[in-house]
Structure 1
C-alpha cells in the first residue's frame, strides 16, 4: 500500500534546502542595489539592474533545467545547482567593478534557477499523490517565509555590520543545505526509452511541458500583479508617508499565508482546485483595492498584506500543484520549470513595464489596474483550466455514486 505520510525526513530536508535557497535570493535581492551604490556609485537604474539581472539568470536556467532534471536525475541536478550556487556566492568577494557584479548576479541567478527547479521537482515526486495540494502548499511556505525573513535580516545586517557579512551568511546556509541534501532519498524515476526520447532534442516540448502551460499563463498574470507590490510598495509608502507601517507588510503577508496554508491544502485535495482558486483571485484583487485606499488610512497597507497572503499565497502553491497534477509523471521536472518560467517572467518584466504607468496613472491608479488584471486572470483561468476541472470533478462524483 502506498504511504500517505507527508512529514517525512525527505520532505523536511528538501523544504529546508529550498528555504535557504530562496532566503539567499531575497536577502541579496533586497540589498544588492545598496551594495552597488555604496561600492561603485551606481545610479538608481544601474543599481536596479543589479537586482533584476538575477531574474534573467533564473529564467535562462529554468528553460534547460526542467528537461535535465527528468533525464539526468533529480539529485544530480540538485548537487550541480548547489555547487554552482556556492561558487557564485564566493565570487561576490572578488567583485571589483559594476560590470563584474552584473555577470556574477546573472550566473548566481542561473545557479539558483537550476537548484530550485530540482527542489521543486523532488518535492513533487516524494509527496503522496492524494496529498499534492496540501504537501506543495506546505513546501511553498519555504518561499513565503524566505521572502519575509530574507530582506529584513539583509537590511538589518547592512545597517549594523559590514556588507560582506551578508555574503558569508549566504555561503554558510547554502553549505549547510548542501550537506543535508546528501541524506535525501529520492524515489527512482521509472522512465521508458520512448519517454526518454520524448524529453530529448530541441523541440518546444523538450523545454516546456504543454499540459502545464495553461496554468503557467495564469501564473504570469499573477506574477505581473505581484511585481507591482514587490517593486513599488516602498515607493508608494514613501509617497503617502507610511514607511514605518509598510515595513511590516511582508510580515503580515507571511503570517496570513502560514495560518491559512493547512486549510487551503486540504481543501485543494478534498474539494478540488476550483474551491480554492476562485477565492484566491478575489482576495488578491481585494488586496490591490485596499492598497489603493492606503493614502486615506496607512494601516490599510497591513490589511492588504493579509489579503495578499490569503490570495497570492494560496494561488502560488495551488497553481504549482495543478501544473504537476496535469503533467505526466516522467515530465514533472519540465512541468515545474514551465510553471516558474511564466511566473518569473511576470515578476521580471513587471517592474519595467509598470514603471511606465506610474507617472501617468499614479500609484493609486496602478493598484486599481492590478485589481482588474487579477480578475481578468480569474476569467482566463476559468476558460483555460477551471471549466475542465469542474467537469472532471462532476464526472468523478457521478462514477463514484454509480458504484
Structure 2
C-alpha cells in the first residue's frame, strides 16, 4: 500500500518535470531561468531534509507522511496562479521544501518495513514506485501539455495527489523501537549533523555525481525533441519504465548477494551508452533504444545506491541517511540543471548530453577506486 501511495505521489509530481521548463519558456524565461526551474526546487528540497531527518529520529511515521503529501498537493494547485517568471520560480522553491519532506519520510517508512536481510530487494521493489512514477508520469505530462492546456495538466496532477493521500492514510506504518524509545528532549539538533550521515556518505557522494550528469536530461529532453523534430519523445520514458520494471528486482537480489559495486559499475556503463545514443537520436527508434538503456542502467542505479547508503547506516539514523540520499539526488540534478542551463545558451542540446555523460565515467572511476581500497583494507585485516 505504501508503494502504491508513493507511486501516486511521484506520478502527481513527476508529470510536471518535463513540462515546466517549456512552459516557463513560453512565458518569457531565459535559458538561465529555465535551469533555475530545477535548481531552486532542488535547493528547497536540500534545505528541508535535515529538519525532517531530525524529526524521524523520534516521531512516528504516519502524521509526517500525510503532512508531506498534503503540502505537495497545495503547492501544485497554486501553480496556474502565476504568469510571472519570478513568482513561478518562488513557487518552485516552496515546492522543493515540500518534496524534500515527503520523499525523506516515505523512503524511511519503507525502510522500517523491509527486513535488513532483504534490504536491496525490498528497497528495489519500493523503488519501482519511484522509477515508474518518474518515467510514466513524464510521458503523461508531455502528452497532456501537447494536447491540452497547462491548467488541465495541473488538474490531473492534483487528482493523482488526492489519490496518493487516500492511499497513504490507510498504510499500517511501523516505527523502530529505537525511535519509539527516543524523546525529542534527548536529542540535540545540528543542521549539519542531520544533513550528512558520516557512516554512509560515500554512496551519497557517488549519487551526486551520477545525478549531476542526469540533470541535463531531466531539464532539456523535451526541448531536445523539439530541436530534432522528434514527435514521440515520450517513448524515452515509456521504454525506460518497461526496462526498469523488469531489471529492478534482479538488481536488488544481486545487491543482497554480491554487494553494490558490480551492479553500480554495470548500471553506470549502460547509462553512459544510453546518453550517447540519445545525443545522436534523430528518430523515434533511437529515442526508444536510449530509453531502454536508461531503464536498465539509471533505473537500477539509484535504488542500488540507496540500498548501499542504508546498509551502512544504524537503524535510528536511517531517516537522516535517507534525507542525505535524496538530497544528493536533488543537489546533483539541480546543479546539473543550472550548469547545463547556462551552457545551453552556447551549444545545441545534444552536445550538453555528451558533456554530461562524462560525469558517469567519473562514477565508474570512483567506484572502482573505492572497491580497490576496500579490498586492500580487507587483505590487511586478514594478514594481521
Is the shorter-chain TM-score for this pair beyond 0.5, marking a shared fold?
A: yes
- Note the 1:60-79 alignment, pairs <5 A: 60-79=47-66
1:72-221 → structure 2 map (5 Å cutoff): 72-92=59-79, 94-95=81-82, 97-191=84-178, 200-202=188-190, 204-221=192-209
Q: In structure 2, do the counterparts of structure 1 residues 215 and 37 end up closer, same or farther at CA, with 3 Å as the change threshold?
A: closer
Any idea what SS the aligned residue of 1:248 has? helix
In structure 2, the partner of 1:28 is 16
> Aligned residue for 2:298?
312
Deviation at 1:384, TM superposition (A): 3.9
Is the 1:63–1:341 contact (alpha carbons within 8 Å) kept by the matching residues of 2? no
CA distance in 2 between partners of 1:235 and 1:162 (Å): 18
8 Å CA contact retained: 2:35, 2:219: no
Specify which structure has the bigger relative contact order, considering alpha-carbon pairs within 8 angstroms and separated by 6 or more residues: 2
Runs (5+) with no aligned partner, structure 2:
none
* Cross-structure match for 2:288: 302
Q: CA deviation at 1:315?
A: 0.9
Q: Which moved more, 1:158-167 or 1:181-190?
A: 158-167
* Cα offset, 1:230, TM superposition: 2.0
Alpha-carbon distance between aligned partners in 1 of 2:172 and 2:219, rounded to the nearest angstrom: 38
Q: Which runs of 5+ in 1 are unaligned?
A: 1-12, 397-403
Cα 1:387/1:140, change in 2 over 3 Å: farther
Q: Deviations over 1:377-401 (max 9, x none)?
A: 12212334675389779x99xxxxx
Q: Tell me which moved more, 28-37 or 66-75.
A: 28-37
TM-align CA RMSD? 3.1
**Structure 1 counterpart of 2:40:** 53
Answer with 13-22 or 149-158: which moved more.
149-158
Evaluate the alpha carbon distance shift between residue 170 and residue 244 of structure 1 in structure 2; reply closer, same or farther with a 3 A threshold: closer
Cα shift readout 1:45-88 (whole Å, capped 9, x = no counterpart): 54554454323222222232222222233222212212222332
Q: How many residues align?
A: 381
Correspondence for 2:322: 336
The 8 Å contact of residues 243 and 296 in structure 2, kept in 1 or not, is answered as yes
Distance 2:332 2:279 in 1: 21
**1:70-122 deviation per Cα after TM superposition (whole angstroms, max 9, x unaligned):** 22332222122122223323333544644433333322221122111110101
2:313 matches 1:327: yes
Q: CA deviation digits over 1:136-162, x for unaligned, max 9?
A: 112112222222222222233334444
Q: 1:256 matched to which residue of 2?
A: 243
Deviation, 1:37, is 5.6
Kindly provide the CA deviation profile for residues 182-211 of structure 1, in whole angstroms up to 9, marking residues without a partner as x. 222222322277896785322622332112
The TM-score, its normalising length taken from structure 1, stands at 0.83
